[in-house]
Amino acid sequence: MKPSASTQRLLPVRRVQIWYAFIVIVLAICLIRVFYLQIIQHEHYKTAAQSDQYKEYEINAPRGTISAYDGDRTVPIVLNQTLYTVYADPQLVKDIDKTAAKVHEVLGGDIDKYKESMSADNRYQVLAKQVPEDKKEALLKAKMPGIGAQAQDYRTYPQGVLAAQLLGFVDDSGEGRYGIEEALNKKMTGTPGQLKAVTDINGVPLAASPDNIRKKPVPGQNVILTIDIGMQKQVEQLLKQGLDDAKSESGSVVVMDPRTGAIKAMANYPTFNPADYTEVADASVFNNAAVTDALEVGSVMKPLTAAAAIDMGVIKPNSTFYDNRKIEIDDSTVRNIEEDGGAGEKSVTDILNLSLNTGATWLLQEMGGGELNRKGRVAWYNYMTDRYLFGKPTGIEQGYEASGSVPSPTSGYGLNITYANTSFGQAMTATMVQMAGAYSAMLNGGTYYQPRLVDATVDGSGKLTPVKPKVLKRGVVSPQVSEDLQAMLEYVVDNHSFSRKFDKSYSVGGKTGTAQIADRENGGYLTDEYNGTYVGFVGGDDAEYIIAVKVDRPKIAGYAGSRAAQPLFGNVAHMLIDNFNVTTKTR
């Protein structure tokens, strides 16, 4: 049946209405979707959109610098140089081949490794370190997506290898290693800042964005050392010369102010260049051996034993004993190893001048009432550990400080012979800085100042904070004992040969040590190798510098103490008198 004319007129109108309704529905759905996205899900999509553009960056704090004295002024010995770490964000790199080629063109290196890094899953891939400013700028000007650079401070050394072990170094991760750098790492590192920044499509922060949030880094503390650069240079030169003369491969020298504990020079050989620490094959060269290497010190212990016995009141400075040249102790015998003048009556000064092992053992016997016993062992142990502070670290600002060791006086095998050995510097160990600290206390009137290398610190605002001398122990010995031992040690120097005689206007004293070396494989001691030591002082009426010397395994005829360490001490003492204002005697 054919539709009527009126029905035919309604069909186009109905089609229009249907399409209109359809369009209205679609628009409504779109509006609802837009409302959902922009209003209900606004924060979600805002966060998602910013995830690629809004990033957090850590801003490295400038590491503190290190300075030392050159006369009355301070000069830098460790500074910072800003270089750059170039990195890739593989998710942002658009064309790996092209980008790697450009990086290779600017930086050199291995193009295949660059491609491998740019293909990695990790979003932070280091391409190169220690890149200079000009090359960094050349890379960033290329505007390669996914390539960035981060500033990093690296250490520079205006004085070259000077005091290398004392300073230590800073590794690629920014951590201080060895020496001052490790001991004061936290203080010198400072506090990093933070940057939350809107970035462009390449991940580069938009500096002008109002949405950037910054927290400024706090610079690390600058450090001023106690050492004198001129003295340090000369001590290092004299040490190398002394080791060459003694045919020794290693050794150390410490120069300390006994009135404050301040280290004025501390030298070790062999040494290294801290700017090129990665090229060092033997990591042991990084150690500051004057602080990290504890050894049986030998006869340099005898003045400390004598000072303890006099201070206890068990002998007087003019006391004597009959030396039979040997003492039987249980199943062992203590003998003298140098020219001892033969059997006969000997004084305390003779014990030091002739380096009598029997004399040192006699001192220990007197501490026990005339024989080797528990009373004497405990008394001597207390002086070694509670007064001279052996067996514990000094706290000097150095990484890996050794404590040394002192045997128990009440438990163990062969205690009497063991303690007889400690009276002349065997069967116990100490470092050269510990020996310098103990001699300082013995000679300065009885105050043990903590050995230290830091004279002051300077914060980011420029505020200088001096480091005051720290007393670790008072009453180590009496002031009178200090005077007695100073006179005895002067006598020892007066009766031994040096390449140059000392001017009588100055006070110079000291004691040699020829220390046996433990045979770690077979037990006992080596019979053909020794360490040479010498500890002494220079000054006017009072000791002004303590000098501690160690020469490892010299290959030279004669006793290691007198033939290797003593000449080195003499040269350092003369250098101090000639160049560093040692006062003359007034009495």
Q: Between the ranges 185-194, 304-313, 326-335, where is the mean pLDDT highest?
A: 304-313
Looking at residue 268, its pLDDT comes to: 98
Comparing CA positions, the residue from 579, 585, 574, 564 lying closest to residue 500 is: 574
Specify the length of the chain in residues: 587
Does an H or E element contain 30, and which?
helix 5-35
Q: How far is CA 126 from CA 1, 81, 147, 148, 190, in A?
A: 84, 19, 10, 10, 24
**Average pLDDT estimate for 120-149:** 90
For the chain, give the longest Cα–Cα distance: 156
Provide the pLDDT for residue 42: 58
CA distances from 290 to 38, 262, 568 (A): 71, 15, 15
**Confidence category of residue 587, pLDDT binned at 50, 70, 90:** confident
The DSSP secondary-structure symbol of 277 reads G
pLDDT, mean of residues 96-109: 93
- φ, ψ (nearest 5 deg) of residue 236: -60, -40
Residue 225 has pLDDT above 80, yes or no: yes
Mean pLDDT for 149-164 is 92
- The predicted pLDDT at position 157 comes to 97
Please tell me the predicted confidence (pLDDT) of residue 39: 66
Confidence of residue 152 (pLDDT cuts 50, 70, 90): confident
Taking 50 as the threshold, does the pLDDT of residue 198 lie above it? Answer: yes
pLDDT exceeds 80 at position 293: yes
pLDDT, tens only, 380-427: 999 999 999 999 999 999 999 999 999 999 999 999 999 999 999 999
Answer yes or no: is pLDDT of 271 > 80.
Answer: yes
For residue 49, pLDDT beyond 50: no
Section 25-33 average pLDDT: 74
Strands 169-170 and 176-177: antiparallel
Residue 5, pLDDT above cutoff 70: no
The yes-or-no verdict on residue 366 having pLDDT over 60 is: yes
Mean pLDDT of 222-226: 98
With beta carbons less than 8 A apart as the criterion, state whether 301 and 425 touch.
yes
Average pLDDT, the chain: 90
Q: What is the per-residue pLDDT for 199?
A: 57
Question: What six digits make up the tokens of 189?
Answer: 């590192």
Of 393 and 72, which is predicted with more confidence? 393
